[in-house]
Structure 1
Amino acid sequence: MIALQQATPTPDPLSVPANAPEHCPGTESELAGKADACAGCANQEICASGQVRGPDPALPLVRERMSSVKRKILVLSGKGGVGKSTFTAQLGWAFAADEQVQTGIMDVDICGPSIPTILGIASESVHASSSGWSPVYVQDNLGVMSVGFMLPSSKDAVMWRGPKKNGIISQFLKDVDWGDLDYLIVDTPPGTSDEHLSIVQYLKESGIDGAVVITTPQEVALQDVRREIDFCRKVGIRVLGLVENMSGFVCPNCKTESQIFKPSTGGGRRLAQDMNVEFLGAVPLDPRIGKSADYGVSFLDEYPDSPASIAYLDIIEKIKKQLGDA
């Protein structure tokens, strides 16, 4: 007779350490440190002791700090170079165009913090007060926090392992004096790894209102974006919708639009349909978007008549509608 082997429960992705071996049962499992997969893992002894079980002591502090933030939005994409940070900046500027709306941008792209440059505040630094770190303000109602403010120079590489990345994200959430915010927009790096798991873990109790997923038309980008949407579903994040960046090219002189990245498999619209998420819209490639990012100015303010600006604003209205704020 063949003995039936008891099935090992699937671990919560948020309980699996960044440096865990394949098939890790997760730190909250009864098998933590005792399963066959744990053999040789650097964390085996501490997992087996049960010392890692229980809630993270930072969670109550994050919950308290985030209690004054009305909406929390993640900007995601499995692929790098698709325009997440640029879209995050435009979203922040669009929200903050209303002087009554308090907006914050948190840059958790630890190894590639581009938000300070795009927003024109790369030379600024973080200051501490009795209530915590103060965000760097682009304008009175638009505050920003990024590891880019903490580097000695813009040339310095950030070479951090998972635990240190986890620590700085925790500090951004619990130690930054965000004040009363209507929107906190979180710009993330490509992929579904340390930074993503950390931000979801820390905001789990406070609540994430949704994620905007960014892609470009070509299949090589769409493949990674499918994984990003799957990540959202596995960790319980609502996908507000999909945005297709670089969807055609707009000539700044003749205003004619041409396809640069041909959507050989249907592009973002087809992907949204296949994955059953809303297609928020397509933003054409306007060279002045890059120019605005280099000079740290709002593309929406500088070029309001561009088809790209019109597309951005239409997408942002759809996001507000999804959130019930339109």
Structure 2
Amino acid sequence: MDTVIWRFTDGKAGHEAQTRGLVEALRERRPVTLFNVPVGRRGGGFLHWLSGRYPPGRPLPDPTLLLGAGHATHWPMLAARRARGGRAVVLMRPSLPLSWFDLCVVPEHDRPPAGARVLATRGVLNAIRPSARREAGRGLVVLGGPSRHCRWDNEQILAQLRRLLASRPLDQWWLSVSRRTPASLLPALQALGGYEYIPPSADSDRLEERLARATEVWVSEDSVSLVSEALSSGARVGLLQVQCSDSGRVAGFVKSLVDAGMVAEPGSLRLPEQAPQPLAEAARCARWIEERWLTDH
């Protein structure tokens, strides 16, 4: 029997990448029927929960699992579970009590409390898998941008990129920017040269294809999701330094990676001698769910 998954989506690429990673990991273990459920305006899910009905799911078969990432998905997931059953799995530390969900998949750097309903992960889930397509002499740089935890300095990033390109003359460099990368940086990046540019408008498949081919990947340390994807790819990973709060979640995540020997200190422009064991947190989460809930399906 197929596992029926309702995947609640809020339109944010980072959140949807996390749930996609878990869905794909579950698909590697068992037959899955997937339905994407876009969430509506804030407050609608709470009203549906109060009513005990969930109209957006009316034409769908009853769910086995309800997956969501992002605060806007919380009440719709709970409303759907109340109306139609299933297990609610949230991929973050929720803004509602953890005990209201069947499973909370929370990154270690968010300091989740221990509990039977909590699964702590290193970094965030994603759909990246290790690749056997590595090409010698290929490097990838991936840039994030400013956030509430990190203060971005264009000149600091450019100085590191100049040193990197000068010290590691590979056959081919690719450089990818994200939607958070400041527009003011783009002309300077284009003037820098020495690489193939991947714009923020490019689809995710293009970046994933480069991740599969690069032997080394350099990521600005501000983005937990981008660093997690790089470390899931099987490549050696280096970090570009960004000014992040010492007490923030990003600094805690990066410190845990440095302490584990998975990366060198950000800004050192050094790589581990060997690629670390790739992260496989989506697969670990899928195994946890299957062993506890899906053995009879």
* TM-score, scaled relative to structure 2: 0.32
